[in-house]
């Protein structure tokens, strides 16, 4: 009887300690934001809201150890996340949703029809659209005569390091939305901003085809995270 009472009392004290720790972390976030947090602390804080009454610090460390870094955790497949001890499928879905939510947020900040009248704006917009993409994707951004975005079409989703782009689809997209000009954009998930020989050849080919139907190619942006490379800025358009 005494042992059971001690165990119950011990459990209450542990719960109170966890609650006190969580409250301190919340207050720290409210005062400082996330900038001073370590990657595992960001995960720990996030996990507060889907894993009650457990030490999420331990689980956060386990995730970082398994996947290497915070961004890898958030970009990991749901089924892989769910294999980690302490991670339910519901929690795995929440974690994997965050890059998509970030991309949605960044795109929404630009509004419905942003004006892309400089390589800087084009690069920032493309980087926002491609945030968190773990596979290479090729976008055609269709613009009107005032350089306002008419439509963004994802022409192809490729493997980790290659996207197959069919010129016919690019032409059809530009004609479908009556584009005055276009900007191409694709991402390099590996992090390199250097255009490959295939990127350069494709850009030249598409520019030639679109010029033939009086549609100008303003730029081709390669995005890697928040950084970007502009063909136009580097005299390659």
Among 68, 59, 147, 139, which residue's Cα sits nearest to residue 103? 139
**Cα–Cα dist 72/50, whole Å:** 20
pLDDT of residue 8: 46
pLDDT per position in the chain (237 positions), as tens?
444 433 444 444 444 556 789 999 999 999 999 999 999 999 999 999 999 878 999 999 999 999 999 999 999 999 999 999 999 999 999 999 999 999 999 999 999 899 999 999 999 999 999 998 888 999 999 999 999 999 999 998 887 566 678 899 999 999 999 999 999 999 998 888 999 999 999 999 999 999 999 999 999 999 998 899 999 999 998
Q: What is the pTM of this model?
A: 0.80
pLDDT of residue 6: 38
Among 131, 201, 134, which residue's Cα sits nearest to residue 165? 201
Query: How far, in Å, are 22, 49, 118, 125 from residue 103 at the CA level?
Result: 28, 21, 21, 11
For residue 187, give both structure tokens. 């991402």
Residues 185, 165 contacting (CB under 8 angstroms): no
pLDDT of residue 4: 46
Domains of the chain plus CATH, in order, are 2-104 (1.10.150.20), 111-230 (3.40.140.10)
Give the H or E element holding residue 228. Answer: strand 227-230
Residue positions counted in the chain: 237
pLDDT of residue 94: 96
Residues 164, 199 contacting (CB under 8 angstroms): no
Residue 53 has phi, psi (to 5 degrees) of: 55, 35
């Amino acid at each position: 009887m005494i042992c059971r009472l001690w165990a119950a009392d011990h459990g209450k004290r542990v719960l109170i300690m966890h609650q006190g720790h969580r409250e301190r972390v919340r207050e720290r976030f409210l005062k400082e934001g996330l900038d001073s947090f370590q990657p595992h602390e960001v995960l720990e804080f996030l996990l507060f809201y889907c894993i009650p009454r457990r030490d999420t610090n331990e689980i956060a460390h386990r995730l970082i150890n398994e996947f290497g870094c915070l961004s890898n955790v958030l970009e990991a497949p749901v089924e892989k996340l769910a294999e980690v001890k302490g991670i339910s499928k519901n929690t795995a879905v929440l974690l994997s949703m965050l890059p998509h939510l970030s991309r949605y947020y960044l795109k929404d900040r630009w509004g419905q029809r942003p004006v892309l009248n400089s390589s800087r704006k084009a690069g920032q917009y493309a980087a926002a659209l491609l945030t968190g993409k773990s596979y290479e994707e090729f976008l055609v951004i269709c613009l009107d005569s005032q350089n306002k975005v008419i439509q963004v079409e994802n022409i192809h989703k490729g493997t980790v390091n290659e996207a197959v782009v069919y010129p016919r689809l690019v032409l059809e997209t530009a004609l479908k939305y009556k584009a005055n000009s276009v900007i191409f954009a694709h991402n390099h998930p590996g992090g390199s901003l250097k255009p490959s020989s295939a990127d350069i050849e494709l850009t030249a080919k598409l520019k030639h085809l679109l010029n033939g139907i009086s549609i100008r190619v303003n730029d081709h942006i390669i995005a890697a995270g928040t950084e970007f490379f502009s063909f136009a800025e580097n005299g390659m358009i």
